[in-house]
Amino acid sequence: MGPESGVVDPPWALLAEVTHACPLHCPYCSNPLELVRRSTEVDTATWVRLMEEAGDLGVVHAHISGGEPLLRPDLAEIVAAAERAGIYTQLVTSGVGLDADRLGELTDAGLHSVQLSVQDATAAASDHIAGRRSFADKERAAEVVRDAGLPLGLNVVLHRHNLTHLDAIIRLGVEWGAQRIELANTQFYGWALRNRTALLPGRELLATAEETVRRWRERSSIELIWVVPDYYEGIAKPCMGGWGNRSITIAPDGRVLPCPVAYALPDLSPPNARDHSLAWIWEHSPAFNAYRGTAWMREPCRTCPQREADFGGCRCQAFALTGDAARTDPACHLSPDHHLIQELTKKPGAAEFVYRRPGA
């Protein structure tokens, strides 16, 4: 429900980016080029208060992510605060630093599930993309999560350097005991946008990959989520389930955003949880109302029958490609800017990628 009706439904999910620091250097990382510095991170007491406020506001799920959330020594306290607020917590992690002791500390605090990311099917290839040896840590992380009896999801970001290994990647997920694998075709934000030419896969790779997914679905009960590669499909994704509609993101420095890549929108001026209550931010802040509902839309979205289903696609993608966040997402074939995406996908991917690093 949009602001025009005067009633804002409560949010379901919170993405808590507790730090942007990370031991890995994934070139596909969707974190912003300007990573939040550790010295400006909000403290434990603030996160505890924010979890209470989130529970009162109606948040049911918290995805505790980053950066690498395990770099926060107070992570268990943050998880415990979410648990007290009745919020179901999922740790979103690279696995680096997740041994049995650390996991025990987190499950004692009430952690419910883990989503582990892996870069590729073999140690050499995975470590190459991560820019650091980490595959063995991930393997151990999967093992301790399995031993603790927590649900394990695997997230694999897909691009031209690993799509040909998809079959082995899914087999790895099965071997590691994952209940679901999110096959996350790269979304082009942050470092991924910077590395777009090096990461775009091309149609042939995607067609083969879809065939691989189809075959696994026939013979295995593992849940496979195929995140649509929107650059190639001609359709806009219902980004975040709608702006200010289902989800709230809190940045490491306390800025509150409708999505984790909206850092890149220059005119948004996101409110900070140090200055305002989450309830005010969710219901009344200009940032959350900027693209809420459908009233902000222009043609072709304004009169399109899809507008309540896909919300006109992604505002950050519209901005990244056209310089105007209120235009139709160029991924949509009805967008007057769709040729921009078509040209990008026609070019063969060449270029080397650059690794994510602080202070770029």
Ligand X SMILES: C[S@@+](CC[C@H](N)C(=O)[O-])C[C@H]1O[C@@H](n2cnc3c(N)ncnc32)[C@H](O)[C@@H]1O
The verdict on 317 binding ligand X (CB under 6 A) reads no
- What is the spatial distance between Cα 132 and Cα 23, in angstroms, rounded to a whole number? 8
Closer by beta carbon to another protein, 1 or else 295: 1
Cβ atoms within 10 Å, residue 198: 18
The verdict on 68 binding ligand X (CB under 6 A) reads yes
Rounded to the nearest whole angstrom, what is the least distance from the CB of residue 95 to another protein in the complex? 17
187 contact choice in another protein, ligand SF4, ligand X, none (CB below 5 to 8 Å, kind-dependent): ligand X
Backbone angles phi, psi at 183, to 5 degrees: -90, 90
Encode burial over 260-289: b for 16+ CB neighbours within 10 A, e otherwise: bbbbbbeebebbebeeebbeebbbebebbb
334 contact choice in ligand X, ligand SF4, another protein, none (CB below 5 to 8 Å, kind-dependent): ligand SF4
The verdict on 126 binding ligand X (CB under 6 A) reads no
Rounded to the nearest whole angstrom, what is the least distance from the CB of residue 227 to ligand SF4 in the complex? 14
Cβ–Cβ < 8 Å for 17, 65: yes
The verdict on 121 binding ligand X (CB under 6 A) reads no
Of the candidates 2, 55, 66, 252, which one interacts with ligand X according to CB under 6 A? 66
Looking at residue 186, what DSSP letter applies? P
Count how many Cα atoms sit within 13 Å of the Cα of residue 81 in the half-sphere of its side chain. 19
- What is the spatial distance between Cα 265 and Cα 53, in angstroms, rounded to a whole number? 26
The verdict on 111 binding ligand X (CB under 6 A) reads no
Rounded to the nearest whole angstrom, what is the least distance from the CB of residue 196 to another protein in the complex? 27
List of residues 6+ apart from 350 with CB closer than 8 A: 197, 198
The verdict on 186 binding ligand X (CB under 6 A) reads yes
Rounded to the nearest whole angstrom, what is the least distance from the CB of residue 129 to ligand X in the complex? 11
* Element spanning 219, H or E: helix 203-219
Closer by beta carbon to ligand SF4, 155 or else 212: 155
Tell me the pairing of strands 13-17 and 61-65.
parallel
Closer by beta carbon to ligand X, 187 or else 212: 187
Closer by beta carbon to ligand X, 261 or else 281: 261
356 contact choice in another protein, ligand SF4, ligand X, none (CB below 5 to 8 Å, kind-dependent): ligand SF4
Closer by beta carbon to another protein, 58 or else 286: 58
- What is the spatial distance between Cα 289 and Cα 134, in angstroms, rounded to a whole number? 41
Closer by beta carbon to another protein, 89 or else 335: 89
- What is the spatial distance between Cα 226 and Cα 232, in angstroms, rounded to a whole number? 14
Positions touching another protein (CB under 8 A) are 10, 12, 56-58, 60-61, 86, 88, 90, 112-113, 115, 149-151, 153, 179-180
Closest CA to 318 of 309, 303, 330: 330
The verdict on 157 binding ligand X (CB under 6 A) reads yes
Rounded to the nearest whole angstrom, what is the least distance from the CB of residue 131 to another protein in the complex? 28
Positions touching ligand SF4 (CB under 6 A) are 22, 24-26, 29, 31, 66-68, 94, 236, 300-301, 304, 306-307, 310, 312-313, 328-329, 332, 334, 356
Torsion of CA 8, 237, 223, 171, to 10 degrees: -140
Q: What angle do CA 277, 280, 285 make, to 5 degrees?
A: 120
Interface residue list for ligand X (CB under 6 A)? 22, 28-31, 65-68, 92-94, 115, 117, 155, 157, 184, 186-187, 189, 192
